[in-house]
Structure 1
Amino acid sequence: MINIALQGAEFFAYHGFYPEEQKLGCRFVVDIEVSFVPPEGLNDEDLDNSVDYEKLYIIACEEMKHPRKLIETVGQSITDRIKNKYPFIESIRVIVKKLNPPLMGKVAHSSVIINYPSAK
């Protein structure tokens, strides 16, 4: 089993339930972790037998550009695109953190964690 991770990818985006959040935007951090068994092994150093973390970043970047009311939806969209791009992946963990969410007090971040397959 191989694990590949992309940690701390930062984005400015317009996700949020309230109109002010969708207008002003906010900083977000995305972490992605995937686990898989290479379909053909890794002895030939062929990137097609692995997960390209640059592609993971591009998927996250593209999904962060589409404003949504819930960061849960953002995390699920990222997860779904990774599953479609790399069908041999056995597990995916996506964490979307909203930095300094607009609350009544100081909060470092709120977050959502999407796991595939989901725990039952």
Structure 2
Amino acid sequence: MDKIFLEGMAFFARHGVFPAERETGQRFLIDVALYLDLSLAGRADDLELTINYLDVYHKVEAVVCGRSFQLLEALAEAVATAILESFPVRQVGVRVRKPGAPLPGYFETVGVEILRGKSCPAK
């Protein structure tokens, strides 16, 4: 299966368990991987036969910046659901990183990574 990916999308949003995180907000980094067959687009060199990266970016931005989640897991699920509902993909991988998580000590980032797919219709 082929893959389109957008990595390191950065958004300022208000997610977190603690009220202060939701009040002041912070930076979140989002990576998505869209799994689908890209052979037709590759042969035809036609944007209409693939997924426009700009559309994916705007969909992710709308979810990340549109409402507040307590858990990174819930944010990742919402991004995955929006992509699966909006684009002709078989699976989507979503990685959410929170470099400014309120933890003691030094760390680069914390996060979650999920992989979701469309259900096969019953026969």
Question: Which interval holds the TM-score relative to the shorter structure?
Answer: 0.7 to 0.9
The alpha carbon displacement at 1:45 in A equals 3.3
Tell whether the 8 Å contact from 2:11 to 2:29 is kept in structure 1 after alignment.
Answer: yes
The alpha carbon displacement at 1:29 in A equals 0.4
1:2 corresponding residue in structure 2: 2
SS, match of residue 41 in structure 1: helix
Tell whether the 8 Å contact from 2:98 to 2:111 is kept in structure 1 after alignment.
Answer: yes
Kindly provide the CA deviation profile for residues 72-106 of structure 1, in whole angstroms up to 9, marking residues without a partner as x.
1111111111111123x122110000012111222
Percent identity for Structure 1 against Structure 2: 27
**TM-score normalised by length of structure 1:** 0.87
Kindly provide the CA deviation profile for residues 43-87 of structure 1, in whole angstroms up to 9, marking residues without a partner as x.
333323212111111111111111111111111111111111123
1:84 corresponding residue in structure 2: 85
Letter in 2 for 1:103: L
Higher percent of residues as helix: 2
Q: Distance in 2 between matches of 1:74 and 1:83?
A: 14
Unaligned runs of 5+ in 2: 119-123
- Structure 2 matches for 1:26-45, cutoff 5 A? 26-38=26-38, 41-42=40-41, 43-45=43-45
Unaligned runs of 5+ in 1: none
Tell whether the 8 Å contact from 1:100 to 1:106 is kept in structure 2 after alignment.
Answer: no
Letter in 1 for 2:104: M
Q: Distance in 2 between matches of 1:2 and 1:49?
A: 14
Tell whether the 8 Å contact from 2:84 to 2:117 is kept in structure 1 after alignment.
Answer: no
Q: RMSD of the alignment, in Å?
A: 1.8
SS, match of residue 35 in structure 2: strand
- Structure 2 matches for 1:7-18, cutoff 5 A? 7-18=7-18
